[in-house]
């Protein structure tokens, strides 16, 4: 699984310029999340980007979750404003940004289509 282009939109406000990616973790395979989601493969990534919004510059953390189960695939993205610039110590990022992202991603369920499709009737 791979990505091309900028993965997410800014969290809010009109965008007046293209984002500038300041930091990116790369796609990391995550077997624990794959088990929780019932997926065959899950890749996670996060980074920090600077957007110029109508309201001024905004530092945002972006998250990408790519999942695959059999022949189905999902690309789930999240962006939110952050006060943690690149090179912020990991414990600070974890308690500020990753905790908020986990609250969103922790409620994630992969859609499998209609009930008939789930039961093998289509």
User: pTM here?
Assistant: 0.78
pLDDT digits (tens, 9 = 90+) for 24-73: 888 899 999 999 999 999 999 999 998 887 778 889 899 999 999 999 99
Contacts 24+ apart (CB under 8 A), 89-95: 93/61
* Domain ranges for the chain: 20-118
Distance, CA of 103 to CA of 96 (rounded, Å): 12
Instruction: Using pLDDT thresholds of 50, 70 and 90, give the confidence band for residue 116.
Output: very low
Give 35's contacts (C-beta < 8 A, 6+ positions apart). none
**Residue 12: band (very low, low, confident or very high) from pLDDT cuts 50, 70, 90:** low
pLDDT higher than threshold 70 for residue 3: no
Q: Per residue in 83-101, pLDDT tens?
A: 898 899 999 999 999 999 9
Question: pLDDT: is 16 or 53 the higher one?
Answer: 53
E-state strands within the chain: 20-24, 28-29, 41-53, 56-69, 72-81
């Amino acid at each position: 699984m791979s990505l091309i282009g900028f993965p997410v939109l800014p969290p809010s406000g009109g965008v007046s310029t293209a984002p500038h990616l300041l930091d990116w973790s790369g796609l990391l395979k995550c077997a624990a999340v794959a088990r929780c989601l019932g997926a065959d493969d899950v890749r996670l990534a996060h980074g920090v980007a600077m957007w110029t919004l109508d309201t001024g510059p905004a530092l945002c953390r972006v998250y990408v979750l790519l999942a695959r189960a059999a022949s189905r695939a999902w690309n789930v993205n999240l962006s939110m404003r952050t006060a943690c610039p690149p090179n912020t110590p990991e414990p600070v990022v974890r308690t500020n940004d990753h905790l908020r992202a986990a609250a969103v991603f922790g409620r994630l369920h992969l859609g499998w289509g209609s009930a008939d499709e789930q039961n093998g009737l289509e």
